[in-house]
C-alpha cells in the first residue's frame, strides 16, 4: 500500500512540475497580482529613437507602480530576436513590446498564444495575415513632420522679410537613413509644411544608409549646409546633425528641426522645435487591455486596421515639444496650433496635396499626381508614401 501512495505522490509531483513548466512558457503569470511586461529595444536609450520609446516604459512604471514588473532588453539586432523573446516569455511576461523591424516576432507569436506581442509597424500591414496575439502600431508621424515644417517655414519667411535670405535660396536639408517609404513620407510632409508658408522652398536629401552613425550624420548635415541649406532636419538616430548646425551657426545662419528627442540642450542656438511620436497612449492602453482580459484593439484609442493601429494628434499619439522661443519666428506657436487643430478636425486630406508630381525612386515609370491628394495611413499604420516630388526635392550625395 505504501508503494501505491509513493507512486501516486511521485506522479502528482511530476504532473505538477510539468504543469508549472508549461504554464511558465505558454500562459500568463501574475504572481501576487503583478503583470509582467517586456520591452525589447533595437538600440539603447542613448539614441533619440529608443529614448523616446523608453518614455512609454517610464509612463507605465509611473501609472501602475508595483502592479507591473518590467523586463528590458537593449541593443537587440533584428536577426537576434529569438533568444530575448523566448527569455522574456520564460520570465512570465504577459505582454512584450518591440520597437524594431524584425520579422521574428510574428513568427514566434503562435508558439505562445497567451502572450501578447506588440511591435512598431515596419511594413504595410493592410494585407498581412497575422497571429491573433500579434499586434502592430505606429503614430502618424507625417502630422508632426508637417507641423515642424510650419515652424521652419515661419523662420525662413522671417529671414526673407529681414533680408538675410533671398527667396531663391530657400533651401532645406534633410539627413535621411534609407529611402524607405517611412523616411520619404516624413521628409515630404516636412517640406510641404514649409511650402505652406514659403511656397518656393526646395529640399536636398542626403542618405547615410545607416540608422545610427554620429560621424556620417554630422558630415551629411555639414555638406548640406555647405550646399546652401538654411534649415536641417533628420530621420536618423544621433545628435550629429544638430551638432553640425550649432557649429556652423558660428559662421552662418542655420537652424535645426528635431525628431523624437529635443535637441535644445546640444543645439541651443539653432534648435527650432521637435516632433515626436508618443508611444505612451498605445503602451498604457495595451497593458490595460491585458489586465482586463480584453482585445487590445478594442481598448486603444486610434484608427484600427485589424490587429494594426495608428493615431495622430487627435489621439495623443503625436506631439510637438520644446519650441525654442529664442529662435522661433514671431507667430510660430499660433501657426503650429492652428495646423494641429486642422489635423484634429480633418486629419487625412490636406498634407499630400498640391500641384506636384511624385516619382518612385525605384521605378521612374511609377508616378503620382497629388492634385487630388493622397491620404497617408489610410489602411495601415506604416507610412506608404514613397514618391520623390519632381523639381522640389533633390537627392544629393
Half-sphere exposure of 226 (CA within 13 A, CB side): 9
Domains of the chain: 31-136+279-313 (3.40.50.2300), 141-277+314-396 (3.40.50.2300)
At 82, the pLDDT band (50, 70, 90 cuts) reads very high
Residue 159 has what pLDDT? 98
What is the pLDDT averaged over residues 256-273? Answer: 94
Provide the b/e sequence for 121-160 (b: ≥16 CB within 10 Å).
bbeebeebebbebbbbbbbbbbbbbbbbbbbbbbbbbbbb
| Segment 108-123, tens digit of pLDDT | 999 999 999 999 999 9
What per-residue string of b and e applies to 371-384 under the rule 16 or more CB within 10 Å gives b? eeebebbebbbbbb
Question: 217-258, pLDDT tens digit by residue?
Answer: 999 999 999 999 999 999 999 999 999 999 999 999 999 999
> Could you report the per-residue pLDDT of 333-342, keeping only the tens digit for each?
999 999 999 9
The Cβ of residue 111 has, within 10 Å, a number of other Cβ atoms equal to: 13
pLDDT value of position 33: 73
- Min mean pLDDT across 10-19, 87-96, 137-146, 315-324 is at 10-19
pTM of the model: 0.90
pLDDT tens readout for residues 43-67: 889 888 999 999 999 999 999 999 9
pLDDT at position 296 is 98
Residue 128 has what pLDDT? 86
- In this model, does residue 390 exceed pLDDT 70? yes
Nearest partner of 339 among 264, 262, 258, 275, judged by Cα: 275
Amino acid at each position: 500500500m505504501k508503494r501505491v501512495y509513493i507512486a501516486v505522490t511521485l506522479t502528482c509531483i511530476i504532473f505538477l512540475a510539468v504543469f508549472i513548466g508549461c504554464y511558465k512558457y505558454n500562459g500568463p503569470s501574475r504572481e501576487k497580482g503583478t503583470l509582467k511586461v517586456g520591452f525589447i529595444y533595437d538600440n539603447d536609450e542613448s539614441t533619440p529613437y529608443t529614448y523616446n520609446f523608453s518614455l512609454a516604459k517610464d509612463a507605465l512604471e509611473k501609472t501602475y507602480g508595483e502592479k507591473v514588473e518590467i523586463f528590458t532588453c537593449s541593443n537587440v539586432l533584428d536577426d537576434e530576436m529569438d533568444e530575448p523573446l523566448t527569455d522574456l516569455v520564460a520570465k512570465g511576461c504577459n505582454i512584450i513590446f518591440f520597437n524594431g523591424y524584425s520579422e521574428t516576432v510574428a513568427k514566434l507569436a503562435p508558439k505562445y498564444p497567451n502572450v501578447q506581442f506588440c511591435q512598431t509597424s515596419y511594413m504595410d500591414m493592410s494585407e498581412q495575415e497575422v497571429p491573433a496575439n500579434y499586434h502592430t502600431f505606429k503614430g502618424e508621424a507625417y502630422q508632426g513632420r508637417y507641423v515642424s515644417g510650419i515652424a521652419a517655414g515661419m523662420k525662413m519667411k522671417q529671414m526673407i522679410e529681414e533680408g538675410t535670405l533671398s527667396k531663391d535660396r530657400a533651401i532645406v536639408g534633410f539627413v535621411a537613413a534609407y529611402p524607405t517609404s517611412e523616411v520619404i513620407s516624413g521628409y515630404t510632409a516636412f517640406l510641404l509644411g514649409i511650402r505652406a508658408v514659403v511656397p518656393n522652398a526646395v529640399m536636398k536629401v542626403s542618405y547615410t544608409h545607416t540608422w545610427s552613425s554620429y560621424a556620417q550624420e554630422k558630415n551629411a548635415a555639414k555638406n548640406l549646409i555647405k550646399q546652401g541649406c538654411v534649415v536641417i532636419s533628420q530621420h536618423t538616430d544621433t545628435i550629429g546633425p544638430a551638432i553640425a548646425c550649432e557649429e556652423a551657426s558660428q559662421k552662418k545662419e542655420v537652424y535645426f528641426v528635431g525628431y523624437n528627442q529635443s535637441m535644445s540642450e546640444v543645439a541651443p542656438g539653432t534648435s527650432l522645435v521637435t516632433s515626436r511620436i508618443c508611444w505612451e497612449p498605445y503602451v498604457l492602453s495595451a497593458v490595460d487591455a491585458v489586465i482586463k482580459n480584453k482585445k487590445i484593439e478594442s481598448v486603444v484609442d486610434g484608427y484600427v486596421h485589424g490587429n494594426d493601429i495608428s493615431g495622430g494628434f487627435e489621439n495623443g499619439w503625436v506631439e510637438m515639444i520644446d519650441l525654442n522661443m529664442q529662435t522661433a519666428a514671431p507667430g510660430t506657436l499660433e501657426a503650429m496650433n492652428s495646423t494641429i487643430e486642422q489635423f484634429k478636425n480633418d486629419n487625412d486630406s490636406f498634407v499630400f496635396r498640391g500641384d506636384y508630381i511624385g516619382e518612385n525612386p525605384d521605378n521612374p515609370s511609377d508616378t503620382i499626381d497629388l492634385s487630388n491628394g493622397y491620404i497617408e495611413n489610410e489602411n495601415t499604420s506604416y507610412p506608404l508614401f514613397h514618391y520623390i516630388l519632381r523639381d522640389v526635392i533633390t537627392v544629393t550625395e
